[in-house]
Amino acid sequence: MNRRGFLLLAAGAPLLAACGQTPRGLHGRLIILRHADRTFAPLNAKGRARAAQLPEALADLPIDAIYTSQRQRNIDTATPLAKARGLPVQPIPPLGAGTRILTEHPGQTVVWVGNQENLGFLYLELGIPAKPPVQFGEIHVVTIPGDGGPPTVEIRHYGD
């Protein structure tokens, strides 16, 4: 994590940690993953190949929407899945993304492609009781019940 990401996490963690659990009434399923792979900023060849395998890895799940942070490597990771499903990739600011997604898509299944700097915030924001995916090719299928109970996490892997 770079210095800027660390400072953002340090500044926002107390606020988000106060949440402690998923806000009551928010429910749905989030498919959360880190971008496919990179060399510096863009996806590298391995990342592009892994991103091409994402549609097959999620073929058994319905997907209602696909969101990413505004980083190009996250958008590029989501693009093959979006094309396969006929859905747009929707880049949004990452802070507060979990609440926004669950509010706009209650009870639906939504993909979030992020990076180390924002996945930690998302997990704190929603009270997800696991560490966020940090390995390339790691997918978390997070089910969030509407009763304020704890989210459950199924871990999957895709790509080489």
Question: Model-level pTM?
Answer: 0.84
Domain ranges of the chain: 3-157
Query: What pLDDT was estimated at residue 19?
Result: 47
What tokens does 19 get? 């949440």
pLDDT at 80: 98
Which pLDDT score is estimated for 149? 81
Give me the architecture of the 3-157 domain, per CATH.
3-Layer(aba) Sandwich (3.40)
Q: Are 75 and 91 in contact (CB under 8 A)?
A: yes
Question: What is the greatest pairwise CA distance in the chain?
Answer: 43
Cα(119)–Cα(111) distance, rounded to whole angstroms? 13
Which spans in 18-129 are helix H? 45-57, 72-85, 97-104, 116-126
Which residues of the chain are modeled with pLDDT < 50? Answer: 6-11, 13-19
Residue that is written with structure tokens 């090719």 in the block: 137
Calculate the average pLDDT of the chain. Answer: 86
Residue 63 has what pLDDT? 98
Q: Are 51 and 97 contacting, i.e. CB atoms less than 8 angstroms apart?
A: no
